[in-house]
């Protein structure tokens, strides 16, 4: 199968959907050139750097029969649009009794490692998971980013596509034919017996590397990639933990009230899963600090394959 990079696969998903549905248009502060060349400036709108207005305009156009894509670029830029995201987009369908749909896609890169310091290295998806009325996903492969983006564009709700900045150049197989990936379906990336690692995006790859390392020590690790955050596939995560009896959650975000806390709770509050636990769930997350600039500092803040492997060894000691 041909290979595409993560960002090429994302672009292909958008271009294919825009060819299929003339109601889709795209707003971003700097238009993506291949899209602009193919679809022209009516559908690929160059906008001022005003994410609050763009987000609201997207909501209004969605409620008026269009299917807008609002590209925030980096997640950090969407914080000036929090009223529109939290008070408007997330609530407008519910608050008005479901009168009309708001098919609306937001795109934002997340993650660190770029040596760009605190404001440009964020992974705040759990803030959005906490808001009822938004769907969201965070893919780990080119295949997934394309399939999930297509599902998002065809969904009749506000959806946030969080895209890992560390993975934009990652290459992987992407079929030429049309396909979608449903929300709420986690994928077991590697099967194992002794421990389950639930990891997101870049950390899926680190977890797989850690699993290779642990395999040499005779430790068999299962790696589960949730792919979509809302809805979250609690069933598959629980099934894996019931099998292995041990859970480690790896997240590029800090632990406090985060995705990792949610997964730990989903597993612990389920009687059947809790009964199978051989050790308390363990979280391997970023430190709960703003992300620093200097490589020495930044590397210290983020989890990696070594910390994940060390965490699994601790789980087995317990």
Partner 1 sequence: MPLSLNLSPDKQREMLRQMLTIRRFEERASADYLAGKIYGVVHCYIGEEAVAVGVCSALEKSDRIISTHRGHGHSIAKGADLKRMMAELYGRRTGYCKGKGGSMHIADFGIGMLGANGIVAGGIAIVTGAGLAAQMEGKGGVAVAFFGDGASNAGPFHECLNIAASWKLPMLYVCENNLYAAQTAAAATHALSDIASRAAAYGIPGLVVDGNDIVAVYQAASRAVDRARSGAGPSLIECKTYRWRAHTERRNQPDPREKEEIEAWKKRDPILALERRLKEEGGLDEGERSTMEREVLAALEEAVAFAERSPFPLPEEAGEDVFSA
Which residues are catalytic, by number? Answer: 120
Shortest Cβ 288–partner 1 spacing (Å): 30
61 touches partner 1 by CB under 8 A: yes
Residues 6+ apart with CB under 8 A from 287: 254, 300, 301
How far is Cα 132 from Cα 124, in angstroms, rounded to an integer? 15
| Residue 64 near partner 1 by CB under 8 A | yes
End-to-end CA distance of the chain: 43
* Helical segments of the chain, H only: 6-20, 33-43, 51-62, 82, 92-95, 125-129, 142-154, 202-216, 234-244, 259-268, 271-276, 295-301, 305-317
Q: Which of 47, 220, 242, 268 binds partner 1 (CB under 8 A)?
A: 47
Helix axes 33-43, 6-20, angle to 10 degrees: 30
Q: Which of 183, 135, 181 is nearest to 159 (CA)?
A: 135
Question: Does 60 sit near partner 1 (CB under 8 A)?
Answer: yes
Among 42, 176, 177, 275, binds partner 1 (CB under 8 A): 42
**Smallest distance from the beta carbon of 92 to partner 1, in angstroms?**
7
**Residue 67 binds to partner 1 (criterion: CB under 8 A):** no
- The contact pattern for partner 1, residues 94-133, with x = CB under 8 A and - = no contact, is xxxxxxxxxx----------------------------xx
x/- contact string, 226-245, with partner 1 (CB under 8 A)? Answer: --------------------
Distance CA 43, CA 36 (A): 8
Min separation Cβ 125 and partner 1, Å:
18
Residues that bind partner 1 (CB under 8 A): 25, 42, 47-48, 50, 52-66, 68, 80, 83-84, 87-88, 92-103, 132-133, 135, 156-157
């Amino acid at each position: 199968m041909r290979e595409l990079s993560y960002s090429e696969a994302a672009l292909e998903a958008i271009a294919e959907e825009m060819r299929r549905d003339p109601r889709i248009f795209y707003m971003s502060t700097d238009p993506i050139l291949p899209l602009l060349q193919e679809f022209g400036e009516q559908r690929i709108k160059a906008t001022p750097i005003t994410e609050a207005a763009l987000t609201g305009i997207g909501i209004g156009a969605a409620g008026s029969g269009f299917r807008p894509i609002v590209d925030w670029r980096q997640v950090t830029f969407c914080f000036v649009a929090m009223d529109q995201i939290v008070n408007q987009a997330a609530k407008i369908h519910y608050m008005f009794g479901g009168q009309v749909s708001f098919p609306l896609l937001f795109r934002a890169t997340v993650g660190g490692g770029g040596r760009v310091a605190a404001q440009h290295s964020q992974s705040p998806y759990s803030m959005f998971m906490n808001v009822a009325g938004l769907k969201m996903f965070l893919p780990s492969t080119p295949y997934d980013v394309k399939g999930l983006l297509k599902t998002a564009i065809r969904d009749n709700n506000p959806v946030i596509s969080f895209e890992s900045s560390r993975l934009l150049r990652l290459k992987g197989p992407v079929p030429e034919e049309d396909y979608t990936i449903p929300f709420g379906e986690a994928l077991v990336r590697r099967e194992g017996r002794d421990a389950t690692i639930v990891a997101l995006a870049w950390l899926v790859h680190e977890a797989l590397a850690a699993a290779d390392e642990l395999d040499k020590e005779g430790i068999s690790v299962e790696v589960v990639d949730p792919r979509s955050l809302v809805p979250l596939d609690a069933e598959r995560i629980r099934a894996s933990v019931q099998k292995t009896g041990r859970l480690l959650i790896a997240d590029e975000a800090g632990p406090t009230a985060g995705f990792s806390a949610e997964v730990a709770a989903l597993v612990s509050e389920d009687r059947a899963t809790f009964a199978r636990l051989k050790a308390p769930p363990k979280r391997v997350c970023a430190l709960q600090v703003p992300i620093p600039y200097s490589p020495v500092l930044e590397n210290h803040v983020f989890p990696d394959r070594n910390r994940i492997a060390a965490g699994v060894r601790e789980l087995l000691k317990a």
